[in-house]
Amino acid sequence: MYDARSVTQDFLDRQGEATISGDLEGTLAFCDLPCTLESLEGRTVARTEAEMRAICQAFIDSLRSRQLTHMMRRALEADFKDGQTIWATYETRYIRAGKLLTDDPYVSFIILKRVAERWKISMLQLTASGDSPANATLRQWTPDAD
C-alpha cells in the first residue's frame, strides 16, 4: 500500500506534466465534478465539464503566455481521510527556459478523491496572490473578483 504523500506527489507530477504540456484532455482527466477552486480573491465551483474545460484551458493559456516550461510541485503533507480521500498540502514553483523564477513558492491545500480508479481534484485552495498564473486564471472565474 502506498502512503498518502507518495500518491499525492505522483498525482501532482502527472497532472502538472499534462497541464504544462498543454494537454487539455489530460488535464481534465484529473478533475472531479463538482470541483471547488479558491484563491485569496474568492471561490468558484465548476459544476459542468464545460466550466472545468474553460478553467483548465485558461490556466494552460496563462502558463503559455508567461512562457513557463515547468511547474515544480512538492507534496508537503498528506493524509488519507478514508480509502477514497486524501487531504494534502503542496508548494508550487515555476520555471521558464530552465531557470527557476525568483517568485516565492505558493502553498496549496488539495482534496483528492478516488473516482473510477483514478485520483481527481475535488477541492483546491491556493495561497497564490497577485499575478501568478493560478490566481490570474481564477480571478476570471470568481464571481466576486471584480
| CA angle in degrees (0–180, nearest 5) for 143-43-142 | 30
| C-beta neighbour count of 28 within 10 angstroms | 17
In this predicted structure, the answer to whether residue 138 has a pLDDT above a threshold of 90 is no
Task: Work out how many domains the chain is built from and give that number.
Answer: 1
Q: How many Cα atoms are found within 13 Å in the side-chain-facing hemisphere of 123? A: 9
Mean pLDDT of 125-142: 73
Residue-level pLDDT at 1: 60
| 25-70 tens-digit pLDDT | 999 999 999 999 998 877 889 999 999 999 999 999 988 988 888 8
**Residue 146 within a domain:** no
CATH number of residue 100's parent domain: 3.10.450.50
38/83 Cα distance (integer angstroms) = 25
Q: Containing H/E element for 28?
A: helix 24-28
Nearest to 120 by CA among 39, 18, 3: 18
Residue-level pLDDT at 2: 82
In this predicted structure, the answer to whether residue 83 has a pLDDT above a threshold of 50 is yes
**Residue 94 within a domain:** yes
Mean pLDDT of the chain, nearest integer: 89
Mean pLDDT of 108-126: 96
Q: What is the pTM of this model?
A: 0.88
Residue-level pLDDT at 99: 78
Mean pLDDT of 98-106: 74
**Residue 63 within a domain:** yes
- Owning domain of residue 32: 4-141
**Residue 129 within a domain:** yes
